[in-house]
Structure 1
Amino acid sequence: MKNNMSALDIRICLSELKDLIGAWTGKVYEIDGTFLLKFNPPEKERKELVIEPGRRIHLTEMKYSTPDHPPSFPMLLRKHLTNTKLTEINQPDMERIVELTFEKKDKQLILIAELFGSGNLILCKENREIIAPYRSESWKHREIKSGQKYRYPPKKGKNISSVSRDDLKEALSEEPDIVRGMARNLNIGGPLAEEICARANLAKETSPKELSDSDYKDLQSAISELLSAEVSPRIIYDKEKPIDFIPFSFKSKKNQETEIFESFNSALDNYFQKISKQRTESKGKERLEEKLETVKSRLEKQKNHLQELEAKAQETKKEADAISTRHKKIDYTLEKLRGIQETEGWEEVEEEIQKSPETREKWAKPIESIQPSEGTIIINLPETPVSLDFRFSSFENASRLYEEYKSAKGKMEGAKKAIEETEKELDEIREKGVKPSEKPAPKKLREKEWYERYRWCRSSEGLLIIAGRDTKTNQEIVEKHMEPSDLYLHADLKGAPHTVIKGKKEKISTSTIEEAAKFAAMHSRAWRRGLANADVYWVKPEQVTKEAPAGEYLPTGSYMIKGERNYLTVPLEAAIGIWKKDGTEIPMCGPPSAIDSHSDFLIKIKPGPEKKSGIAQKIKEILQDKTGREIDLDELMQILPPGSGTLEI
């Protein structure tokens, strides 16, 4: 299975990232060693770039589970890179290194991603002085530490994009075969070296000593052909499992199962998501087996302990019963023993015990052994040998053993209960598995509807209400999406968003107009000012015009309203719920009555003192608790009203 990108993979991937140039940088996240950089390209949808040091770099459409409290390094990247403009993306000398250059006013920063070995991510100043690395490292030829100048690692081979025939001969001269020679000395890896051999019609095991000038010419042609090949990205599978990704069709892999993608970035995104999912599932299975073995081992120990308790209880009961049955014989022996010991001492007792049982006196015949220092004696009874404390009577010894028996029986009940609980735990683990100990694999994002580019909600009657986010989207709302069957609304405040109800052939109801007016108000400055109410007017589309009166000028994104305006005074209030569409659950923010019509629950919000980010975090936790799924905090920030607020719990 291929686990990282080759130099050629990186080159082709970067060629598709032109749209990122000029993008403004947003937040940076780290998810288990993988970095997610968010970008806002001019006039395009937001893009997200994945960088996993040592392995990959590409755009992603996957939904990553981002941490609520980012580690220190991504926070440092946020501090330096947020609101900077991405101006360059380079791959120096076709190495497995990517440099992203950012500018902010007159300052320039470089983020260097090393995609070889264990990898690294290094933030540098314009002069390449290291501000901070993800991982500090030191070798004899260079140091990756704050304050040091960043230096490239020593070159390990020729640059395949500019290799001459003499370079090729030199690269292969000391190698056992051509495929290993190219893999090592052109820094391209085995699969690409094999493809060059296949395109040159040369067996990969061929010794360089056997190559003719014509063969070297064919190898050079194959390399040129690869570098200029038309991109046709694909993932290669083996028994439905992804094992490789390639930027175009490989002759060496022509008989293998493949999946073709529109872009190489998309192929990379899907491939790494699939193997991440496989890796997560594999680790899950390993954890399951480890957990099962741990619980099975505990169960076996518990069963062995129960057997020991049962054996001990039976033996104790047997001894106690035997003592009760033979109490006269035992008391006679004990009384004689104590009497002789008191009058003549232990020497006389021991002398008698040392005789054979047949020649002993009657009281000593059943004694097997005696430990004076411990106060114990073992007497052989017909039922079983018993151990007694010779300082006490047979009744007292039997009572002690009966108490031990009862205690053992109690422990047996506890052991049986523990076994039942362990067996239940074992069944639950087999049925449900174990909880993952790491972040889940990223999931593919749903395809967003066109209107999610704007502020939006659905009225109680299901009509779409949209509003602009900025000057550009405000202009699009009016000039691109407003139609004759719609209605136009605007809060009577400067800078309020253009709002449109997307109507149908039938007349738009007063209840929908009122909900749209509340929607227009909640996204205006009235919310930020903490007002209780706001005035909103509505007109027909034909009343909205870009034509200014003679001698006047309309700024970009501004419009004139002809004729009479219809005013409403509406309260400043909002709610968030979950709108279910085609099996997908989408967070939606709008007037409470509208949200209540489409969601099983709603969370009410009003203008207030709490920061928007704090409100969003609380709403995220509530929604996740109610839906049982991950909620994107950024998505909530996008749909909430501007400014601070307060939840109505």
Structure 2
Amino acid sequence: MDPKRELTSVDLAALVGEFGTYEGAKVDKAYLYGDDLLRLKMRDFDRGRVELLIEVGEIKRAHTVAPERVPDAPGRPPQFAMMLRNRLSGADFVGVEQFEFDRILEFVFDRDDGTTRIIVELFGQGNVAVTDGEYEVIDCLETVRLKSRTVVPGSRYEFPDSRTNPLSVSREAFDREMDDSDTDVVRTLATQLNMGGLYAEEVCTRAGVEKAMDIEDATEDDYRRVYEAIERLALDVRNANFDPRLYREPVEEDGENEESESPDDGPVVDATPFPLEEHEEAGLAAESADSFLEALDDYFFELELEDEEEPDPTEQRPDFEEEIAKHERIIEQQEGAIEGFEQQAQSQRENAELLYAEYGVVDDILSTVQEARAQDRPWDEIEERFEEGKERGIEAAEAVVGVDGTEGIVTVELDGEEIDLLARQGVEQNADRLYTEAKRIAEKKEGALAAIEDTREDLEDAKRRRDEWEATDETDDDDEDEAQEETNWLELASVPIRENEPWYDRFRWFHTSDGYLVIGGRNADQNEELVKKYLEPGDTVLHTQAHGGPVTVLKATDPSEASSSDIELPDSSIEEAAQFAVTYSSVWKDGRYAGDVYAVDSDQVTKTPESGEYLEKGGFAIRGDRTYHRDTPVGVAVGIQCEPYTRVIGGPPSAIEGQAETTIELEPGRYAQADAAKRMYRQFREEFTDESFVRKIASPDRIQHFMPPGGSRIAEE
């Protein structure tokens, strides 16, 4: 039996009640892994930390998980995760509902500034849409443009057309659906009554009705027994009468090891909210669980382990040095965090003491604001009043450095320290708030101290395993040299991650096939910065004739090296830089396939206009002759590099294909940048055996970082 990879409509109906026990939990943070796995970290008053996972890819699920089972946080949160953090941080979990009997869950969160709905589609390609309280889409993982419905940012979220709900269908409607069928009983239940294959079979088994019976042969008594079985199932769901089960394939007994084998050792195939006669008849081994959420957590955790191919330790030596270096980096960061916590806590305590030391001044400020607000005076007027007070030399007014009416905060400067005061509170309350914050930070320090001890243990364990490996490694060095082959990164079960964020990473960039760095601005500010700060003698500057392109600099040297005007840049690098310049300009955005580019030496570029000229931000003037590259074709490839660093790279195909393990070439097309990035991400995941590696280093947001502005499509798609 194939393991379940998607939750059924019955599963979701059962989950709604169990999710209700977490109502009131507060959201701490949101994480997005790749383009299909969402994690919400919450805090519940009774249970403490709560982790919610929502996955809408090949696996489609939504359930809580044990904190120790959550994946490590991605290194760089994508825009979708940052949007969720901005909307949900500190929000209360209000509840969750299932739309009709569809595989759609709607999670609702409330905060003082509004309501946020996360609508999870666990059918088809899967999707997560984030809307406001009025169902206007803020953002979504997948844009949907169908005749029947649209899901795009800025539009109102549209649910799919309603279908028959078998758990609430009347007897008359049930009879009509059955009578209108031209197939057998089980297929009618599965499709026309939307029960799905498993529960359609379960209902037939519970009703004692032959599954393959043709509808025309079914009697009134057959209809009655099937309907009553559906009613009993619906009653169990409505009353949360659950007895969850985790089902496994039975392990075939081996005569030589019969005593040590147990049916509970088999691979998982399903988790259900109550026992199923279908599974019992199939001989599956069943395990009880305290809750359906717990059963799903165990099920998908084991399913993921079973899906992962265990790497063969004989294939390659584990990268102990990278693991040790990672733990050492973490310890260094933890030590820095502990020191930071100490400083922050001390700063909060000192600020609280300052409020008492300057009690009279602070009280005057807060009383002034509170009296003005009691008279409904606007915040702008209050701020003007403080400014007037400063001119008259009033001590309390001179201490005020900022007024934020949207948050009700007044910022004061006391003894050189800026302190935010909640205007609605008094001096004592503000001081108590600072003392409480200092205490909270001190508690974080205690947690960090415990964490650093764990990391030190991990470090010692990695060193011990390295020493054991080297002590037992009897392979002759000469034999190793002969056996060494080029690593096939695509087929590695686990690709070691070697991160590197160079100084130019925030710009557009690539290395030419000759090894020279090319950088380009993403906006007018970066164009300005490149010309003023990074342009050096010997560099070549390229720009398109078309308006709206990046300043492109082909570097002759690295900023850390001495500049040189003697270096002769290869023609191949100049041609690739020209293609880069035209590709990331308005030429691509307009859907054209070629454009003109000119190149000049660095000393021909100036930010000083001639008399009567005006240079807008990001613009520059050229003095002297230009070298033109006519009809330069656009072209870009995005790839994943595995050595010396693991990262996404992008640029002209002739340069990128030699530096990346796998590449995808793009051309101007109809897909929005975000949609094309998601398609590329899925293709990269299919190419690597280690899908988690792609998820960690090549998220759609990171891929988008190297794509031209405007519509794209995968070449030869």
TM-score normalised according to structure 1 size: 0.46
Over alpha carbons, which structure has the higher Rg?
Answer: 1
TM-score normalised according to structure 2 size: 0.42
